[in-house]
A and B are shown apart, each in its own frame.
Chain A
Amino acid sequence: MVCPLANFEEVYRTDHGAVYQCSRQNCYWLEFAGDTTAFRVSDFFSFKKKIDAIDVSAMIIDPSRTADFTILMPFRTPRCFVLDINDVLNLRELLNGAKFMIELNSVINACLKTTPSRVAKL
């Protein structure tokens, strides 16, 4: 489910999901494992930090069945993520790419804001 007034732009996409930006509501949408979830900007980055902090090697080494999955229920979302090791790695790849594109966009925006006046002076 995606917000009906959405003004969407794709931030990043992999084979396993995508991240979109909604510039009307100032949020990011994460499309992953057949569902989409909206995150506020700061929530999106703290979600990424949580995914990055998952100890994948501990999941591999631990023989108990419960260690095969990590459950994450981010606050302010209706979503419950049940992730196996593959999901964690796929999600990381997606979020890393998205973060890079978001930061690149910031850099480009900053350049576009400063260059015209500089060019005019030259």
Chain B
Amino acid sequence: MKDLLRLKTSLNEEIENILNAQIKVEAHSSSVYLAMSSWCDDQGYDFSSDFFTKQSEEERKHMMKLFNYVNDRGGKAISPEIVNVPTDFESFRSVFEQMLEQEMYVTQQFNHIAEKCIKLKDFVTFQFIQWFLEEQIEEEYVARRILEMFDVIGEEGTGRWEIDKHIPKVSYEG
């Protein structure tokens, strides 16, 4: 019998579902970072606010990269519903702790996806997600480096002001 399914899509259903789940995770990250940007702005941390706006845009790009891949391979990308976006955060430091947790969670998800790709012998998708796995090294590094500044500079006196000022300078050279 003619294989109509493979004429339509090269994506295994499980892979399509897991990628759609990741689209949602990236979209959620984007929204959370936007919320953090707003909170930082409100609290007077201007550089951090800009930092999170940029992070939010990055996450949206990640989302679109996955979104386009699913559609390009014949699958159906789903525009995700975003819920549970916080509006308030405990402290300046906790914002970055949450950022690190979020990035570690994302890394974990991509590890799961890689595992599934190997299990189902989908080496095309496996190859595609390498870019994301590499990206996660930078994301986690930046979050950790910023958290270390809280210890190195200290939060007392003008500490937070100093930390905020240094946020844009944190980068990963690879």
Chains A and B are bound partners: yes
Pick the residue among A9, A23, A46, A102 that contacts B5 (CB under 8 A): A102
B6 proximal to A (CB < 8 A): yes
Cα of A102 to Cα of B1 in the assembled complex, Å: 9
Chain B: number of interface residues, binned into ranges: 10 to 19
Give chain B nearest CB distance to A81 CB in angstroms.
21
Task: Tell whether, in the assembled complex, residue A109 and residue B76 are in contact, meaning their CB atoms are under 8 Å apart.
Answer: no
CB-nearest residue of chain B to A9: B1
Chain B residues in the interface with A (C-beta under 8 A)? 1-9, 76
Q: Which of A24-70 contact B (CB under 8 A)?
A: 26-28, 41-42, 46
**How many angstroms from the CA of A9 to the CA of B4 in the assembled complex?**
12
* Interface check A77, CB cutoff 8 A: no
Contacts of B7 in A (CB 8 A): 26, 41
Report B18 CB to chain A, min CB distance, Å: 16
Nearest residue, chain B, Cβ from A112: B3
Q: How far is the CA of A26 from the CA of B2 in the complex (A)?
A: 9
- Choose one: B3, B8, B9; the contact of A109 (CB below 8 Å): B3
Which of B1, B8, B9, B76 contacts A105, CB < 8 Å?
A: B1
Extra contacts, 8 of them, besides A21-B1, A105-B1 (Cβ < 8 A), are A23-B2, A26-B7, A28-B4, A41-B5, A41-B7, A103-B5, A105-B5, A106-B6
CB-CB < 8 A to B4: which residues of A?
21, 23, 26-28, 41, 102
Is the CB–CB distance between B5 and A106 below 8 Å?
yes
What's the Cα separation between A102 and B7 when bound, in Å?
12
Considering the complex, give the chain A residue whose CB is closest to the CB of B7. A26
A74-122 residues with Cβ-Cβ distance < 8 A to B are: 102-103, 105-106, 109-110
What are the residues of chain B within 8 A of A41 when measuring CB–CB?
Answer: 4-5, 7-8
- Whole-angstrom distance between the alpha carbons of A42 and B9 in the complex? 9
Please report the C-alpha to C-alpha distance between residue A81 and residue B9 in the assembled complex, in whole angstroms.
27
Can you spell out 16 A-B residue pairs with CB atoms less than 8 angstroms apart? A9-B1, A11-B1, A21-B4, A23-B1, A26-B7, A27-B4, A28-B4, A41-B7, A42-B8, A42-B76, A102-B4, A103-B5, A105-B3, A106-B3, A106-B5, A110-B6
- In angstroms, Cα B49 to Cα A44, docked, is 46
B6: which A residues are within 8 A, CB to CB? 106, 109-110
The 10 closest A-B pairs by CB, nearest first: A23-B2, A109-B3, A41-B8, A106-B5, A105-B1, A41-B4, A9-B1, A106-B3, A106-B6, A26-B4
* A21/B8 in contact, CB under 8 A: no
A31 to B6, CA, bound (A): 23
Q: Give Cα A105–Cα B9 distance, bound, in whole angstroms.
A: 14
